[in-house]
Amino acid sequence: MQKGKQAADMLEIKNLHAQVGDNEILKGVDLTVRAGEVHAIMGPNGSGKSTLAHVLAGRPGYNVTAGTVLYQGQDLLAMAPEVRAREGVFLAFQYPVEIPGVSNLYFLRAAVNAIHKHRNEPEVDAFDFLALAKERAKLVELDDELMRRPVNEGFSGGEKKRNEIFQMAVLAPRLAILDETDSGLDIDALRIVASGVNRLRSPERAIVVVTHYQRLLDYIVPDFVHVLVDGQVALSGSKELALELESRGYTWLEREPARQAVS
Amino acid sequence: MNQMPDVEQLANQEYKAGFVTDIEADDVPAGLDESTIRLISAKKNEPAFLLQWRLKAFRQWLTMKEPHWPNVKYPPIDYQDIIYYSAPKAQTGPKSLADVDPRLLETYERLGIPLRERELLAGVAVDAVFDSVSVATTFKEQLEKVGVIFCSFSEAVQQHPALVEQYLGSVVPYSDNFFASLNSAVFTDGSFCYVPKGVRCPMELSTYFRINAAKTGQFERTLIIADEGAYVSYLEGCTAPIRDENQLHAAVVELVALEGAQIKYSTVQNWYPGDKEGRGGIYNFVTKRGKCAGRRSKISWTQVETGSAITWKYPSCILMGDDSVGEFHSVALTANYQQADTGTKMIHIGKNTKSTIVSKGISAGHGQNTYRGLVKIGKAAAGARNYSQCDSLLLGDKCGAHTFPYIEVANSTAQMEHEASTSKIGEDQVFYFQQRGISAEDAVSMIVNGFCKEVFNELPMEFAVEAQKLLSISLEGSVG
């Protein structure tokens, strides 16, 4: 832990409880993610997958009631959402919102500069930024016109998801959480998005893929698979676990008691 | 673990222009009757026609009632408790900059107004109106070379009485409305501009208005005439100190564009808006109107309104000349307890006249924002066209946006388009920015600026920057 602060433990979640309104959704999640790894979080609807993603990103209204989350050895939960982002936590949204009047490029440049400022680095020059954006856009085959349009406005479902991965490619986060990035994608779009993500895999970066279906994991092959059931990690395993879930469904897990009891 | 970005709790804005300059003033006692008007006229050494005009306006005003149709609420105004003339002492008229009280110059410096000649690079000629009198006019000599007259209204009355007599009240008659009549009776100063035939005014002209003294009303009058084929761009900025009582500002602006002439009139209005509980602030009851008198003339109004407790104004265009063009681009922000009832009137009289209205209303806190606009197509206005767009942006759920578009068409060949939208800055949008590393405050500012972009693009560069800054300041504390 001491030694591996940077390389080893990117994210260490312990006994995480969280509620939305009066509903407790996360009931003691434990999870450790190391740099370079790709983790898939699966589970039935309502098991808390997306809640976990939003809690990690610091979404207002998602209140942590117990537990700890260390990110690169720091208390993630003590950080404001924008500080988490500047520290390298990225959430690809399941439903990216539209921001009328603010162009995609302008938005993203403001984001890059916020991160630079946080690191006491100089602001990025407009021309350099444009070159970077154009190069990264190729990863997900996002064309120029979409980069210049207001953020997500009038984008198709697939374009929105590609835009999320494009943003990830530009912002180069340390920990990327992809929340149901496959939902609403046809097979071609899925391939494009997945190949973009795969090219962003690196030894310094951890990726957490939240998904309901195994399908995405054919393209983004995870190192670990965790199954979330009723707000807890019910089962963890290798990528074969995803295939097992595909054939057996989730119901058999729901009937079994959770793997580990929480004190 | 983290605070909800409280989009609802809006605008703990700090008013940055809210200081008072300690300057001895030459006031006339509060109150209004014919003797007050005679006194003002005498102090200003006015010709007889002007005194007569003032008195006619005053007698008319006595028969009028304060209008209450605007969608704003305020306690009754005691017109006898207002000081109608307040001038910094020893300031009998515009002089060279060296003669101006350094404390006045300091005031303008704190406001960031490029009054001194060293700001030459900015290329803006400024006439500064402090309470009731015009303090200094810069760049006068350069303008005189091309024949442009740009001076205080008082000076114009002395130096160019014929022009004043010809055009004063030709767009906004003294009997026009309650506040315009009051202004006509008691106006003390303002700016005057005449651009001769075929001259393109070589620089942006600018007036800064400032209300300094307590209990003072400001009743300035601006008259701009662009002769045939002339062009002028005119900027107006306004501030006032923070005071608990409300102060009345009832100005009149008249624009006259002759054949082929073009006038671009931009306002960034930042009068003191009152505090968070709605105490104090300026009542901004203003009549602004332009007349496209000649063929192919054009008048554009661009306004960014972030100040005032209550704003009540409708910069309008009377499109008399055939093929004349009227434009109105507006951003109005109401935060805290501010109220705005603003919009425009486009009166199409000539053939093939065109008008464009783009109105952006932003409401926050308990702010109430009303767009009220009239597009009137006269019988003879064959081929007239209007495009109107009214967008409202709401921050929080205690504010309001209202739209009252009036359309009167008397010629069947006219084409009218009207678009309207209402949107709200959602917490999910703000969170999206935050998740990308951008603070909630910057998020709101970026969304608001994006919303206003169309209007800001119409402003001269320096003003666009100032307007953006103003909006950001006005929305400070809008998110927790």
Residue A142 sits in a domain of what CATH number? 3.40.50.300
pLDDT at B127: 63
Task: Nearest chain B residue to A69 by CA: give it.
Answer: B1
Rounded distance, CA A225 to CA B3, Å? 32
For residue A258, the 8-state DSSP code is P
Structural domain harbouring A32: 3-255
Distance of CA B263 to the CA centre of its chain: 15
Rounded distance, CA B463 to CA B476, Å? 20
Residue A260 inside a domain? The answer is no
Query: A17-67, pLDDT tens digit by residue?
Result: 999 989 999 999 999 999 999 999 999 888 999 999 999 999 999 999 999
Query: B134-189, pLDDT tens digit by residue?
Result: 555 556 777 888 999 988 888 899 999 999 999 999 999 999 999 999 999 988 88
Residue A96 vs residue B106, higher pLDDT: A96
Contact predicate B4/B480, CB 8 Å: yes
Rounded distance, CA A194 to CA B245, Å? 63
Task: Give the mean pLDDT of B263-268.
Answer: 90
Q: Within an 8 Å CB–CB cutoff, is residue A124 touching chain B? A: no
Query: A62-83, pLDDT tens digit by residue?
Result: 999 999 999 999 999 999 999 9
| pLDDT surpassing 60 at residue B95 | no
Sheet harboring B124-130: ordered strands across? Answer: B133-137, B124-130, B204-210, B231-239, B262-269, B298-305, B325-334, B354-364, B385-395, B415-424
pLDDT at B101: 61
CB atoms A60 and B439 under 8 Å: no
Task: Nearest chain B residue to A103 by CA: give it.
Answer: B450
Q: Which residue, A248, A201, A257, A250, is CA-closest to A35?
A: A201
Residue B108 inside a domain? The answer is yes
Residue A208 inside a domain? The answer is yes
**Phi and psi at residue B262, in whole multiples of 5°?**
-135, 130
Percent of chain B residues topping a pLDDT of 70: 75
Percent of chain B residues topping a pLDDT of 90: 38
DSSP codes of every residue in B434-464: HHTT--HHHHHHHHHHHHHHHHHTTS-HHHH
Task: Nearest chain A residue to B7 by CA: give it.
Answer: A60
Residue A263 inside a domain? The answer is no
- Give burial (CB, 10 Å; 0-12/13-18/19+) of B145: exposed
Task: Give the mean pLDDT of A230-237.
Answer: 92
Residue B58 inside a domain? The answer is yes
pLDDT at B5: 36
How many domains, in total, are found in chain B? 1
Residue B477 inside a domain? The answer is no
Q: Which of A77, A97, A110 faces B446 most closely, judged by CB atoms?
A: A110
Residue B455 inside a domain? The answer is no
> What average pLDDT is seen over chain A?
89
**Nearest-CA distance B93 → chain A (Å):** 47
Residue A262 inside a domain? The answer is no
Range with the lowest mean pLDDT among B71-75, B363-367, B469-473? B469-473
**Nearest-CA distance A203 → chain B (Å):** 22
Query: B414-469, pLDDT tens digit by residue?
Result: 999 999 888 888 889 999 999 999 999 889 889 988 888 888 888 777 667 777 77
CB atoms B434 and A91 under 8 Å: no
Residue B95 inside a domain? The answer is yes
Task: Give the mean pLDDT of A115-129.
Answer: 91
Q: Which of B1, B6, B423 to mutate to test the interface with A (most CBs of A within 10 A)?
A: B1
Question: B379: pLDDT confidence band, cut at 50, 70 and 90?
Answer: very high
pLDDT at A8: 59
| pLDDT surpassing 60 at residue A251 | yes
Q: Please report how many Cα atoms fall inside a 13 Å half-sphere around the Cα of residue A251, on the Cβ side.
A: 2
Rounded distance, CA B123 to CA B105, Å? 18
**Nearest-CA distance B475 → chain A (Å):** 17
**Nearest-CA distance B12 → chain A (Å):** 21
Q: What angle do CA B52, B53, B58 make, to 5 degrees?
A: 95
How many domains, in total, are found in chain A? 1
Residues of B in contact with A85 (CB under 8 A): 434-437
| pLDDT surpassing 90 at residue B322 | yes
pLDDT at B105: 60
pLDDT at B260: 96
Q: Which of B391, B424, B435 to mutate to test the interface with A (most CBs of A within 10 A)?
A: B435
Contact predicate B317/B301, CB 8 Å: yes
Residues of A in contact with B446 (CB under 8 A): 102, 106-107, 110
Most confident residue range from B325-334, B363-372, B394-403? B325-334
CB atoms A82 and B438 under 8 Å: yes
| pLDDT surpassing 50 at residue B94 | no
Residues of B with CB under 8 A from a CB of A: 1-5, 423, 426-429, 431-440, 442, 446-447, 449-451, 453
Residue B432 inside a domain? The answer is no
Please state, in angstroms and as integers, the Cα–Cα distance from residue B316 to each residue in A45, B117, B437, following that order: 58, 33, 43
Residue A261 inside a domain? The answer is no
Q: Within an 8 Å CB–CB cutoff, is residue A36 touching chain B? A: no
Range with the lowest mean pLDDT among A111-120, B209-218, B227-236, B323-332? B209-218
Please state, in angstroms and as integers, the Cα–Cα distance from residue B59 to each residue in A102, A125, B100, B249, following that order: 53, 64, 36, 20
Rounded distance, CA B346 to CA B92, Å? 39
Query: B20-66, pLDDT tens digit by residue?
Result: 555 556 666 677 888 888 888 888 889 999 999 999 999 999 999 88
What is the interface pTM, i.e. ipTM, of the complex? 0.93
Most confident residue range from A30-34, A254-258, B93-97, B457-461? A30-34
Task: Give the mean pLDDT of B339-349.
Answer: 92
Please state, in angstroms and as integers, the Cα–Cα distance from residue B437 to each residue in A167, A245, B330, B344, following that order: 12, 36, 31, 40
Residues of A in contact with B451 (CB under 8 A): 100-101
Structural domain harbouring B415: 25-424
Task: Give the mean pLDDT of A192-201.
Answer: 93
pLDDT at B35: 86
Q: Which residue, B324, B165, B326, is CA-closest to B259?
A: B324
Q: Which residue, B213, B266, B210, B281, is CA-closest to B13?
A: B281
Contact predicate B373/B401, CB 8 Å: no
Question: B13: pLDDT confidence band, cut at 50, 70 and 90?
Answer: very low
